[in-house]
Structure 1
């Protein structure tokens, strides 16, 4: 398998504030703070687009690496499928803006698990394309699909926005993709659905059903076991375990179940919301910025998504 050469994350210019959410929803500020764990976090501003964030991240990434645009042979735009414009290709649009002219451009939908799904596909095919690159773009409009006027949707009020770009290749990656295990439990397929409301798509939860929190822990635990078995490692070999920042309580419960100390994970709840599929990349970028990674470190990225899908991707840091 190939691996990640480098990546970049881009944040939008506006912020969501729980005091404003309180004014619209009527939900007490204290209750909202228990969900968001921060008073404000980045969201798309009026006129700002998810594909625009992904473009900025990709442009910075390719310029920093000095990547020959003609060597990028595949561009995958990953997200939830609610793109900025209906019936178009954000992958092709970003490729055109970047000057990439010889790539296959397409979209991949698996909600907040889509980015790592695209990385898995790109890593699996990298060995057959020596000297070529795949560019994976992450971009969603999660905050724009939350209805702050619906108190029943308050569990989603921590949805923020971020764009990301990941460059993959077979040659000299910074992170080698060792293994990726993913599964979907279709029994939860319609627990959340989008509906049209005043000219935009908003997310609505169906009738409350018990068991989703348990399903998160059980599926992640199963996939971690599968991944460690496949790579010949143990929990003690995991240097870092990075999880989507959707639910702090579930994050902590999962670490306890796996026997991984909290010090070997990253908690960004105090400054960010759930930034979609970019969550684990943001955490990985934090580790790099703080120079906490060591050559040979085993990093597990645990991602989840509506549908409901779960994934665990094993990376080895090569420095």
Structure 2
């Protein structure tokens, strides 16, 4: 059954502290300690997305050695802020690791890209019998596009850098992707953008009938409910719910909605900030490495992406 064999991580060791951001921006440290609850975050400091991606692949190979020529699909999923324009990071990785037989392409759906890419890879494998193994790479250096001296950018101060590499297989022994559901709503499409030629993401106030917080809760609870229903399960049958780390308030409200608690999730925000799609990969990787995830358990993975899009996947260990 299609699933994830193992996960590698490429998280920079260089860090930016909340105190440093507070000093640069003039935003009181209480904003970070009390409201955002961010202590520090990993930053790439000039290293490229592909550098972090290759580090994640090396970490994956150390955990689960695989032959590069066994890869049939190589998918690079990100926010779309790649190292270069008019250039293929997937093909760069292919050349770097020697996966010459792989079909390579990029997928961008904001920080929802990992979930969307898993769904696409599963569909391609079901449709094409010759596709057996895929390498899904997620990488972003989001901090590079934030003006940490601008107090008006404080909603972006959690943006951090990292990469993950997921080895996927048509016949994976564990972490089976059972079902997925997705939705998009462009009400807030212009809230965040990186104008051509600009160095930093800008925010544009949006007046809408439904607040962004309420919009998030609506779509996330709907999609989580959908993947649970499609598997003929109840909320009580879910062991963990992992969500990307953009808003801890939303996460806790979703957990409460389904009768779950903090111990049934993974809170990495304080020390990692928001790593884009790698947030949920980090949660799954931690569960594997600590043996927290055990055979038979069911996990719902939830993510969201600027634009906005949302995705939920049900995974069985």
Is TM more than 0.5 here?
A: yes
Q: Could you say which residue in structure 1 is the equivalent of 2:203?
A: 205
Q: Provide Cα deviations, 1:265-299, integer angstroms capped at 9, x if missing partner.
A: 11122322111111111111222222122211110
Q: Could you say which residue in structure 1 is the equivalent of 2:174?
A: 174
CA contact (8 A) 2:79 2:276 kept: no
Aligned mates of 1:257, 1:209 — CA distance in 2: 27
Aligned mates of 1:39, 1:155 — CA distance in 2: 15
Aligned mates of 1:242, 1:130 — CA distance in 2: 32
Summarize the Cα distance change of 1:315–1:108 in structure 2 as closer, same or farther, 3 Å threshold: same
Q: Which runs of 5+ in 2 are unaligned?
A: none
Q: Indicate the SS of the match to 1:195.
A: coil
Q: Could you say which residue in structure 2 is the equivalent of 1:104?
A: 103
Mapping for residues 153-232 of structure 1, pairs under 5 Å: 153-195=153-195, 200-209=198-207, 211-232=211-232
Mapping for residues 244-259 of structure 1, pairs under 5 Å: 244-259=244-259
- 2:74 counterpart of 1:58: no
CA RMSD of aligned residues (A): 1.7
Farther off after superposition, 187-196 or 83-92 = 187-196
Aligned mates of 1:57, 1:107 — CA distance in 2: 17
CA contact (8 A) 2:73 2:131 kept: no
Q: CA deviation at 1:208?
A: 4.3
Farther off after superposition, 161-170 or 23-32 = 23-32
Q: Indicate the SS of the match to 1:173.
A: coil
- 2:84 counterpart of 1:67: no
Q: CA deviation at 1:36?
A: 4.0
Q: Indicate the SS of the match to 1:83.
A: coil
Aligned mates of 2:255, 2:207 — CA distance in 1: 24
Farther off after superposition, 34-43 or 72-81 = 34-43
CA contact (8 A) 1:130 1:170 kept: no
Q: Indicate the SS of the match to 1:287.
A: helix
Q: Which runs of 4+ in 1 moved over 6 A?
A: none
Q: CA deviation at 1:173?
A: 3.5
CA contact (8 A) 1:25 1:150 kept: yes
Aligned mates of 2:116, 2:148 — CA distance in 1: 30
CA contact (8 A) 1:193 1:204 kept: yes
Summarize the Cα distance change of 1:34–1:149 in structure 2 as closer, same or farther, 3 Å threshold: same
Q: Provide Cα deviations, 1:33-78, integer angstroms capped at 9, x if missing partner.
A: 33542321211113x1111111111133235433222221111111
Aligned mates of 1:307, 1:9 — CA distance in 2: 26
CA contact (8 A) 1:50 1:140 kept: yes
CA contact (8 A) 1:35 1:158 kept: no
Aligned mates of 2:73, 2:14 — CA distance in 1: 31
Q: Could you say which residue in structure 1 is the equivalent of 2:25?
A: 25
Q: Could you say which residue in structure 2 is the equivalent of 1:89?
A: 88
Aligned mates of 1:173, 1:60 — CA distance in 2: 20
Q: CA deviation at 1:13?
A: 3.0
Aligned mates of 1:64, 1:86 — CA distance in 2: 32
CA contact (8 A) 2:9 2:60 kept: no
Aligned mates of 1:39, 1:250 — CA distance in 2: 19
Between Structure 1 and Structure 2, how many residues are aligned? 314
TM-score, with length taken from structure 2:
0.94
Q: Could you say which residue in structure 1 is the equivalent of 2:11?
A: 11
CA contact (8 A) 1:130 1:169 kept: no
Mapping for residues 110-121 of structure 1, pairs under 5 Å: 110-121=109-120
